[in-house]
Every structure is written in structure tokens, then in C-alpha cells.
Structure 1
Amino acid sequence: MTAQSAATATAAARARTGGPREDGPKILEHVVGWALVVVLAMFVVQLGLL
């Protein structure tokens, strides 16, 4: 492996896609997800689709 290919491999390994650097608390994600499910269910019941 040459120095140039090693530098390219290192830079590629550190390349970011623009996403978040670290994930936040998973519990918050679950609570928000379930709240969305409940709200959607309420709308469906109000429309009389179930």
C-alpha cells in the first residue's frame, strides 16, 4: 500500500454523509413514533374507516 492510497483510504473512512454525528436518546424516538401512531389511529377512527 502506497502512502497516497493509504491517505485516500483514511479520508474515505472519515467521509461523512451529512447525517447526525451521534444518535439522541432512543426512548424519545420511540415515544414520538408511538404518539404519531396514536394520532393517526384517532384520525382513522374519526373518519370511520375502521
Structure 2
Amino acid sequence: MTSTSSAVTRFLPRARTGGPADDQGPKILEHVLGWTLVVLLAVLVTRAGLM
């Protein structure tokens, strides 16, 4: 590696791959919204008489 390329890589952030370590969102909010969607879908299905 040349001094120029090592200097450039020192100041540039690493590429993000979107792996599990990148997911830092609020977990509880995702679970609550997910279960709310499941319950809403179940209510709509039963009210429509499909089950």
C-alpha cells in the first residue's frame, strides 16, 4: 500500500454492509407495532367472515 492510499483510507469511514451490528433501532417499538398489525389483521379477517 502506498502512502497516499493509506492516508486516504485512514480518513474515509469503512463501508457499511447492513449487517446485524448496524441495526440499532428501538426493538420494543418494532414488536409493539408488529403485534398490533397482527391483531388488526386478525380482527379484520374475522369481521369479514373469512374465518
Structure 1: segments with no counterpart, 5+ residues: none
Cα root mean square deviation, aligned? 3.1
Compared CA separation, residues 48 and 30, structure 1 to 2 (3 A): same
Matches within 5 A, 1:9-20: 11=12, 13-14=14-15
**Cα gap change, 1:24/1:35 in structure 2, threshold over 3 Å: closer, same or farther?**
same
Identity, % of aligned pairs? 48
The change in CA–CA distance for 1:15 and 1:34 in structure 2 (over 3 A counts) is closer
Are the structure 2 counterparts of residues 4 and 16 from structure 1 closer, same or farther at C-alpha, using a change threshold of 3 Å?
farther
